[in-house]
Amino acid sequence: MESRSPDLETLRTMLRTFVVEREWGQFHTPKNLATALSVEAAELLEPFQWLATGDGDELTDGARAAVRLEMADVLAYLLLLADRMNVDLCAALAEKIAINAGKYPADEARGSSKKYTAYEGK
C-alpha cells in the first residue's frame, strides 16, 4: 500500500498541535517566526557553502540528509508564520506566479537570469 505525504493543511494542523502541547504559541510572534525562518534558511546554505559548482550532485549522503531536514525546518517556520498571519500559502503562491508571469514573459525571459527591469518596456 502506498503511503501519501500529508498536504499543507494537515501539516499546519500537526504544527498547531505540536506548538499547543508545548505552550510555545506565546513566543510565535510574526517577527520571531520570520527571524527563525531566516535562520533556518541560512542553515540550509551551509552544506552548499564550499562546493565547486554548487550542484546538488556534489553533496555527500550525510549532507543530503542535512539539507532535507533543514528544508523541513524552513517549511515548518513558513507554515507557522502563514498560520499566525492568516495567509493561504497556496493562494499566495498562485498570485505570485501570475505576477511573475507578467514581469517575466516567457519569450523575453527564456534562458536569461536578468531582472525584469532589464527587459524592453519595463
Give residue limits of the domains in the chain.
Answer: 1-87, 88-122
Q: What is the Cα–Cα distance from 76 to 19, expressed in whole angstroms?
A: 11
How crowded is residue 14: how many other Cβ atoms within 10 Å of its Cβ?
Answer: 13
How does the average pLDDT of the chain come out, rounded?
93
Residue 84 has a pLDDT of: 97
Asked if residues 103 and 116 have their Cβ atoms less than 8 Å apart, the reply is yes
User: Where in the chain does DSSP place strands (E)?
Assistant: none
Q: How confident is the model at residue 117 (pLDDT cuts 50, 70, 90)?
A: confident
Q: How many helices (H) and strands (E) does the chain have?
A: 5, 0
What is d(CA 110, CA 114) in angstroms, rounded to the nearest whole number? Answer: 10
List of long-range contacts for 45-48, beta carbons under 8 Å, 24+ apart: 46/70
- The model's pTM: 0.88
What are the tens digits of pLDDT across the range 72-96?
999 999 999 999 999 999 999 999 9
Q: What is the CATH number of domain 1-87?
A: 1.10.287.1080
Q: What is the pLDDT of residue 122?
A: 59
